[in-house]
Amino acid sequence: MNQYPYNFGRGGSVISAEARNRVLRNTYWLLALSMVPTVLGAWVGVVTGFTLFSATSPAMSLLAFFAIAFGFMFAIERTKDSALGVFVLLGFTFFMGLMLSRLLTVILHFSNGPSLIMLAFGGTGIIFAAMATVATVSKRDFAGLGRWLFMGVIVLLLAGFANIFLQLPALMLTFSVMAIVIFSAYMLVDVQRVVNGGETNYITATLAIYLDLYNVFTNLLALLGIFGGNRN
């Protein structure tokens, strides 16, 4: 683990070009595989109407989510050098799919809900392709962005927690836009870390990039629902 709490999967040492390519290839394969339990978790959540500790307050539900999520991340870091780490990561992505189901349920109540979901998925894919391409071909080192991006994540966490109580639409919109910008930039940093050999473990590399994709997708979908949702 790095010095920053958010930076699970963002450590490593410089390795050979062959090893870098192997880590990058395995990362992309595992990233693609991680989408399967995410979709499955989301489907289960939508069908069952899953909500995390729905009987408690929103603040307690948020704290419970962070406790479970960071527990998974800690377990991934502890098992990242064995095959067990892959299964722990896939379990985490299933859990994140469950957490995504509440937003999907809201979006699916729109008459154009499925198209909004596909649009958000496609938009996230385009953003990732662009960031991965820049990270691969650019000679510039983007590692210095990490400290500033982490500060942005802290601001997002504080704003998100505050809006549980304030319920300000403007703050929610600002939150989503900032999240898309911050985690798109994190894609750039995280992919380049693998490309440059700064990350030697494909499981932790996958975890970092998965979190970037997840946050961009959810916030892009939220914006599309606000501005493009057609009520039945």
Q: Are 34 and 206 in contact (CB under 8 A)?
A: yes
What is the rounded distance in angstroms from the CA atom of residue 179 to the CA atom of residue 192?
20
Question: pLDDT of the chain along its 232 residues, tens only?
Answer: 333 344 444 444 456 778 888 999 999 999 999 999 999 999 999 998 877 665 567 777 888 888 999 999 999 999 999 999 999 999 999 999 999 999 999 999 999 999 999 999 999 999 999 999 999 998 888 888 888 999 999 999 888 888 777 778 888 899 999 999 999 999 999 999 999 888 889 999 999 999 999 999 999 999 999 888 777 6
Helix pair 202-228, 84-108: axis angle to 10 deg? 0
Kindly list the domain boundaries of the chain, sorted by start residue.
17-228
pTM: 0.89
Contacts within 8 Å (CB) and 24+ apart, 123-132: 123/220, 124/213, 124/216, 124/217, 124/220, 127/180, 127/184, 127/187, 127/216, 128/187, 128/212, 128/213, 128/216, 131/184, 131/185, 131/187, 131/188, 131/191, 132/187, 132/191
pLDDT at 228 (0 to 100): 83
